[in-house]
Amino acid sequence: MPQIIRRTDWMVTVPQRVAQLFSERDEFAIYPLPVQLPEVEVTVHWHEAFDADEGNRWFRALIVDALHED
């Protein structure tokens, strides 16, 4: 997504932490939304065969951490 936004005049709505990760070099302007949005529950699903897989567990934690609001 950052590559698309960088090359166009488009904008995107993402969680603030995701926007900050995408704008590591402060190349994007980040604005608060002008409206209040309802809470969103983040869920991650995977096949039970990957429950104990360390790489899969790491990736799930990464996704949840990136989308979790402090």
Q: Are residues 19 and 5 in the same domain?
A: yes
Domain range for 57 is: 38-70
Query: How do residues 46-55 score in pLDDT, each as one tens digit?
Result: 999 999 999 9
| pLDDT of the residue at 59 | 95
Residues contacting 22, CB < 8 A, separation 6+: 1, 2, 5, 14, 28
Report the C-alpha gap between 11 and 22 in whole angstroms.
13
Q: Which long-range contacts (CB under 8 A, 24 or more apart) does 29-37 make?
A: none
Q: Work out how many domains the chain is built from and give that number.
A: 2
Higher per-residue pLDDT: 31 or 25: 31
Q: Are residues 42 and 28 in the same domain?
A: no
Q: Are residues 1 and 23 in the same domain?
A: yes
Q: Are residues 25 and 44 in the same domain?
A: no
Q: Are residues 12 and 30 in the same domain?
A: yes
DSSP H helical ranges for 8-53: 16-22
Q: Are residues 24 and 48 in the same domain?
A: no
Q: Are residues 47 and 66 in the same domain?
A: yes
Q: What is the pTM of this model?
A: 0.56
| pLDDT of the residue at 70 | 58
